[in-house]
């Protein structure tokens, strides 16, 4: 590039690195692009992914594990369109993701330009901010602002579309770009006083922690400290899982669709709810009605969260960790011994859900044995299939201190788990183990991600529950007496055989002894940077309690 500036992609890479992004995911473009610039930049890591959909999921997984904003590089046309499914899930999860895309030459817009699509209109429902950079002078500003808006408020996707003419022009060298740190605040004194009064008056408070907690530094200890002060049990949404270690005596697992009986009784008996970093989306509201009428204090850093899923008596606009700390300093210590005893009894009763032999429930046994045989897990990645949903149920899976959970949001994109594990494992400490729980159909949909796991040397163990087809659609057809042939899959390589094709190791476990042996081999490979696939045949009726409860209530 001329002495008047730097090339476009070097400038973008400089800004991303300076603002705090450390990783760029994507598929190589025809001409050298952002992925090339990131690969050459000392402050960035380029992750080459052979499919844009997988790359978007991987970027989301990496953000959830690293806690840092990430960038996804695509190009106008089919590459952009292919990424949309993953971006839809990333938007639902509210992860800080900056999409960098290109546009066709201006003379081709509206005139049948090659690979031209209206990216801004397609992105509108998914992004919190988007901008088309049509001059070199605004490029640095646009990328820096995209990172800022991806991190602050309700974290989410932002997008910068770079005009073709800018790609080929000298860009002013970025100057004065600073790290983007999340803005943190506490609610007003008046709001804190009203929240304190409500909580002090409660005899049976319950804390609900959501996915927003994971973006608040120090939220785990702050939430635990407040719950202990209140003597309140803690349930989390799926996205909030891991904020509070499920080894804590006040932890009762997940809320809503994934609630493990009899924790639903605690929700029904609560006389105050403290909702932290959650909109209380539909799956979090399933199976209980008390959220409609129980007095609620809701804490969120985005005002848009208030009233979306529930109507709080007191809305506290602020950082979760800081606000929880402020409440802990204010609420009085009350004698809630009867409530504490009730919570202990519920936690003890929940243990029965995890007690299942391999012969009775291969899926439950596999989740339990994976925890035992794989050792301390750095990351657990989940899909949302009929059988692997057992992993959402505490204490079938008990998330320990230091384990990060990566799961889909409200879109529950099929195949998200395996694709997200590419980025999630990349964000985990070297030599650690990442476990993925998924189904056979979801696995097939994202099987191309195995190549990326091999290239990266990822210590990933994929447990595949194989019911020979599409479990959810089959179950719904069986419920109404419909033909199930379209849901059945036979022939072709199995998941463990596909692992070998892509340079990994795989095994099928039909007994507990075979499963234990396979998991031990998989762990040995994982700590050395090799991926494995353990296939567990699953019966149609090996389904979690949350699904059965949903069916009883007529939601399925």
User: Torsions phi, psi of 89, nearest 5?
Assistant: -70, -40
- How large is the angle between the packed helices 52-66 and 78-93, nearest 10 degrees? 30
pLDDT in tens, 304-313: 999 999 999 9
Q: Kindly state the average pLDDT of the residues 422-441.
A: 96
Structure confidence by residue, pLDDT tens digits, 130-147? 999 999 999 999 999 999
Cα separation, 525 vs 421, in Å, equals 16
Helices (H) and strands (E) in the chain, counts: 21, 18
Retrieve residue 277's tokens: 């970093």
d(CA 204, CA 289): 16
Q: Phi first, then psi: give them for residue 300, nearest 5 degrees.
A: -160, 155
Tell me which residue of 374, 346, 206 sits closest to 280, measured CA to CA: 206
Contacts of 93 (CB under 8 A, 6+ apart): 60, 64, 211, 239, 408, 409
pLDDT at residue 97 above 80?
A: yes
pLDDT in tens, 33-68: 999 999 999 999 999 999 999 999 999 999 999 999
Q: What is the DSSP string of 80-92?
A: HHHHHHHHHHHHH
Burial, 527: exposed, middle or buried (Cβ in 10 Å; 0-12, 13-18, 19+)?
Answer: middle
Task: Report whether 381 contacts 437 (CB < 8 A).
Answer: yes
Distance CA 387, CA 469 (A): 12
Question: What is 31-49 written as a DSSP string?
Answer: SS-HHHHHHH-TT-EEEE-
* Structure confidence by residue, pLDDT tens digits, 355-364: 899 999 999 9
Residue spans of alpha helices (H) in 335-415: 337-354, 362-374
Residue 429: pLDDT over 80: yes
Report how far residue 443's alpha carbon sits from residue 496's, in angstroms, rounded to the nearest whole number.
11
Give the pLDDT band (50/70/90) at residue 555. low
pLDDT value of position 531: 98
- In the chain, the N- to C-terminal Cα span, in Å, equals 59
Whether 2 has a pLDDT exceeding 70, the answer reads no
pTM: predicted TM-score of the whole model, two decimal places: 0.96
Q: Tokens 């002078």, residue?
A: 137
Domains defined along the chain, listed by start: 8-167 (3.40.50.970), 189-351 (3.40.50.1220), 357-552 (3.40.50.970)
pLDDT at 216 over 90: yes
pLDDT at 281 over 60: yes
- Give the angle subtended at the CA of 540 by the CAs of 539 and 541, to the nearest 5°: 90
d(CA 501, CA 172): 47
Predicted confidence band of residue 404 (pLDDT cuts 50, 70, 90): very high
Distance (Å, rounded) from C-alpha 336 to C-alpha 181?
39
Asked if the model's pLDDT at residue 388 lies above 60, the reply is yes
d(CA 91, CA 409): 8
Give the pLDDT of residue 161: 97
Distance CA 1, CA 300 (A): 46
What 3-state DSSP class applies to 361?
Answer: coil
Mean pLDDT of 189-195: 98
Position 117 confidence tier, pLDDT thresholds 50, 70, 90: confident
pLDDT of residue 31: 86
What CA–CA distances, in Å, run from 360 to 6, 14, 111, 449, 469? Answer: 64, 56, 63, 32, 21
pLDDT score of 546: 87
C-beta of residue 343 within 8 angstroms of C-beta of residue 266: yes
The C-alpha atoms of residue 507 and residue 494 are separated, in whole angstroms, by: 10
Q: Examine residue 108 and say whether the peptide bond preceding it is cis (omega within 30 degrees of 0).
A: no
Residues with Cβ < 8 Å from 30, sequence gap 6 or more? 75
For residues 94 and 212, is the Cβ–Cβ distance under 8 A? Answer: yes
Q: Residue 205 pLDDT more than 90?
A: yes
Please give the structure tokens belonging to residue 37. 């610039």
| Poorest-pLDDT segment among 117-121, 221-225, 471-475 | 117-121
The pLDDT tens digits for 466-488 are 999 999 999 999 999 999 999 99
User: Do residues 304 and 239 lie in contact, with contact meaning Cβ atoms separated by under 8 Å?
Assistant: no
**Both tokens assigned to 207:** 């804390």
Torsion 438-442-444-445 (CA) sign = negative
- pLDDT for position 153: 79
Give, in degrees to the nearest 5, the angle at Cα 452 between 436 and 164: 120
Of the CA atoms within 13 Å of residue 208, those in its CB half-sphere come to 31
């Amino acid at each position: 590039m001329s002495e008047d500036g730097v090339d476009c992609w070097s400038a973008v890479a400089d800004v991303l690195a300076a603002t705090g992004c450390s990783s760029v995911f994507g598929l190589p473009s025809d001409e050298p692009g952002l992925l090339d610039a990131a690969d050459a930049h000392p402050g960035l890591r380029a992750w080459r992914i052979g499919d844009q959909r997988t790359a978007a999921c991987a970027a989301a997984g990496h953000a959830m594990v690293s806690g840092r904003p990430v960038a996804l590089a695509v190009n106008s046309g089919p590459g952009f369109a292919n990424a949309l499914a993953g971006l839809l899930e990333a938007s639902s999860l509210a992860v800080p993701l900056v999409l960098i895309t290109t546009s066709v030459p201006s003379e081709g817009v509206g005139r049948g330009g090659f690979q031209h699509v209206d990216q801004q209109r397609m992105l509108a429902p998914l992004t919190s901010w988007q901008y088309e950079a049509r001059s070199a002078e605004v490029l640095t500003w646009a990328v820096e602002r995209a990172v800022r808006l991806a991190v602050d408020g309700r974290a989410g996707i932002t997008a910068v579309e770079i005009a073709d003419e800018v790609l080929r022009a000298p860009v002013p060298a970025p100057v004065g770009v600073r790290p983007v740190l999340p803005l943190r605040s506490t609610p007003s004194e008046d709001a804190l006083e009203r929240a304190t009064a409500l909580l002090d008056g409660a005899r049976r408070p319950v804390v609900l922690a959501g996915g927003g907690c994971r973006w608040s530094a120090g939220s785990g200890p702050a939430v635990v400290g407040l719950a202990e002060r209140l003597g309140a049990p803690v349930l989390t949404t799926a996205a909030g899982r891991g904020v509070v270690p499920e080894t804590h005596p006040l932890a009762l697992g997940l809320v809503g669709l994934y609630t493990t009986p009899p924790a639903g009784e605690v929700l029904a008996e609560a006389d105050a709810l403290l909702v932290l970093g959650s909109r209380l989306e539909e799956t979090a509201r399933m199976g209980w009605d008390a959220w409609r009428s129980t007095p609620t204090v809701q804490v969120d850093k985005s005002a848009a969260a208030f009233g979306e899923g529930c109507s709080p008596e007191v809305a506290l606009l602020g950082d979760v960790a800081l606000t929880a700390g402020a409440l802990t300093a204010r609420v009085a210590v009350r004698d809630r011994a009867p409530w504490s005893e009730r919570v202990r009894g519920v936690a003890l009763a929940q243990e029965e859900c995890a007690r299942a032999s391999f012969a009775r429930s291969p899926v439950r046994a596999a989740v339990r044995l994976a925890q035992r045989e794989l050792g301390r897990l750095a990351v657990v990645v989940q899909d949302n299939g009929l059988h692997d949903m057992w992993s959402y149920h505490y204490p079938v899976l008990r998330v320990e201190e230091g384990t990060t959970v990566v799961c889909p949001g409200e879109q529950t994109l099929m195949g998200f788990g395996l694709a997200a594990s590419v980025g999630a494992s990349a964000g985990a400490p070297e030599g650690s183990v990442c476990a993925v729980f998924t189904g056979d159909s979801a696995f097939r949909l994202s099987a191309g991600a195995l190549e990326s796991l091999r290239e990266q040397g990822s210590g990933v163990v994929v447990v595949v529950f194989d019911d020979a087809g599409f479990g959810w659609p089959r179950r719904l057809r069986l419920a109404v007496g419909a033909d199930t042939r379209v849901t059945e899959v036979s022939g072709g390589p199995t998941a463990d055989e596909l692992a070998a094709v892509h340079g990994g190791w795989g095994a099928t476990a039909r007994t507990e002894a075979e499963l234990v042996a396979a998991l031990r081999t998989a762990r040995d490979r994982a700590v050395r940077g090799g991926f494995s696939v353990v296939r567990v045949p699953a019966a149609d009726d090996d389904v979690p309690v949350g699904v059965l409860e949903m069916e009883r209530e007529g939601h399925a």
